Amino acid sequence: MTRPAIGLVLAGGQGTRMEASHPGPPKPLVRVGGITLLELGLARLADAGVTEVHLALRHRAAEVLAAAQEAAAGRGLTLIPHQEEQPLGTIGAAFHLRGRDATVLAVNGDLVSAIDLGAFLARHRERRADLSIATHDEHVRLKLGEVVADGEGRVIDYREKPVKTFRISSGTYALEPAVVALVQRNTWTSIPDLVRRAVQSSALVVEDPHDAPWIDVNDALDLAAAEALVADDPRAFGIASAEGA
């Protein structure tokens, strides 16, 4: 029997870089294409068939919660808030979901993403994974020349400002109860911490590569890039449908 899926939106961060470069609302309530980052995440979960969403809160929690309740009601979602009295890291709030016989579909609250969460969840289930991590390739051009040498120090190549490719987490996860159980009560737990614990426990941890438009919005420059990305294809992010277009 397939477990039901419940959502977890991670929106408790302070967002210091965003506040410094784009003063105003807390980061989850920053708008891209006329819609808040928080509502974008809720819309994606609703489109995946999720009806129950848990929300991790801390910084300016009252403002974020009020907006989240309105957005969730408009999407037909049941919203369950969890306010952190102390910072619990990027996945510490998952402790509140221990004991639930459900797959937790967790998303960072500062993403502009066109990842199809329903398809992501389906692949997670098909692979019978305990933890799936959505990933994408990030290409970074070095500012300096790279000297390539062999084990004896003999130079075998010189690459001028090469482009390096790294496999990056896309801030989107599917967790089964065995992995959620590894999150301890009131204990700082980051995603890397949890991944390492899961691997060490012999859980099946897999990546799920995608090429969907995606950006992590942390400051004003990211916000400008996100606006351009959304303007190019708003329907890919659910914005047109969210506005009734």
Query: CATH number of the domain that 202 lies in?
Result: 3.90.550.10
Mean pLDDT of 219-243: 81
Is the pLDDT assigned to residue 88 strictly greater than 50? yes
In a domain, 227, yes or no: yes
Number of domains in the chain: 1
135: tokens are: 């990933």
**Assessment of whether the complete model's pTM goes beyond 0.75:** yes
In a domain, 34, yes or no: yes
In a domain, 157, yes or no: no
In a domain, 55, yes or no: yes
In a domain, 146, yes or no: no
User: How confident is the model at residue 24, as a pLDDT?
Assistant: 73
Q: 223 is in which domain, residue-wise?
A: 5-135+169-242
In a domain, 124, yes or no: yes
Distance of CA 221 to the CA centre of its chain: 19
Distance of CA 222 to the CA centre of its chain: 15
Mean pLDDT of 88-114: 94
22 — pLDDT class (breaks 50, 70, 90): low
244 — pLDDT class (breaks 50, 70, 90): very low
pLDDT in tens, 4-18: 999 999 987 665 666
pLDDT in tens, 129-164: 999 999 999 999 999 999 999 999 999 999 999 999
In a domain, 163, yes or no: no
- How buried is residue 38: exposed, middle or buried, by Cβ count under 10 Å (0-12/13-18/19+)? buried
170: tokens are: 């896309």
